[in-house]
A and B are shown apart, each in its own frame.
Chain A
Amino acid sequence: GNSVTQMEGPVTLSEEAFLTINCTYTATGYPSLFWYVQYPGEGLQLLLKATKADDKGSNKGFEATYRKETTSFHLEKGSVQVSDSAVYFCALIRTGTASKLTFGTGTRLQVTL
């Protein structure tokens, strides 16, 4: 079956530090890959996505590249801000009649001044 593995949190960084959150996946075929972000007390927001190998998704300074050879979709940001503090979820979709997301367990990021 499909699965997504994320690095354990919480991740604590100082403002302007470089961020990497690792994500690897297991899936048959060619899934689409997503990063969602959940700010405290809120629902999930789509952060970025990639639909095929070597695609790079980017948004708000965050980037992730779809690496089929390593089955990875690591999230990176060059300089984090306090406002980036949230829980980040990696997810994949296998297409079908209803595209069902498989999520990782989430990684909490805490950015301090």
Chain B
Amino acid sequence: SQTIHQWPATLVQPVGSPLSLECTVEGTSNPNLYWYRQAAGRGLQLLFYSVGIGQISSEVPQNLSASRPQDRQFILSSKKLLLSDSGFYLCAWSLAGGPGDTQYFGPGTRLTVL
């Protein structure tokens, strides 16, 4: 069966510090991968998605970036965090192609920028 991992689970960082969040998927090959952010009291916003190694699409301009160095690894990064980057970050995967693909979410990383 497929599983998705995210770490760290919780992170407190000062403004201006760098960020690296990691997501890995097990039990499937060539998945589509996604990063979402959930700000306090708000819905989910798609940040990045990837259909393959090295292929990243950005949905929202921001100071965040994403990379996919391996087939089942997706990394969210920032060189300098802003207060507004605080939130709950969720990674998700889906099978590539096909209609109505279901996305499966990881446990999330709660980021607080102080």
Scan residues 86-114 of chain B and give those whose CB is less than 8 A from a CB of chain A: 90, 92, 94, 97-108
If over half of A's interface residues share one DSSP class (helix, strand or loop), that class is named, otherwise mixed; here it is: strand
Query: What size tier do the contact residues of chain A reach?
Result: 20 to 34
Are B99 and A101 in contact, CB atoms less than 8 angstroms apart?
no
Considering only CB atoms, which chain A residue lies closest to B88 in the complex?
A43
Which B residues touch A93, using CB under 8 A? Answer: 100-101, 103
Tell me if A70 is interfacial: C-beta within 8 Å of chain B: no
Once A98-B57, A104-B43, A105-B43 are accepted as A-B contacts, the answer to whether A42 and B108 lie under 8 Å apart by CB is yes
| A65 to B: closest C-beta gap in Å | 16
Which of under 10, 10 to 19, 20 to 34, or 35 or more describes the interface residues of B?
A: 20 to 34
Q: Chain B residues with Cβ under 8 A from A32's Cβ?
A: 99-101
Whether B94 lies near A99 (C-beta < 8 A) is: yes
7 more A-B contacts (CB under 8 A) besides A32-B100, A103-B43?
Answer: A36-B105, A43-B106, A93-B101, A95-B98, A98-B49, A98-B94, A101-B44
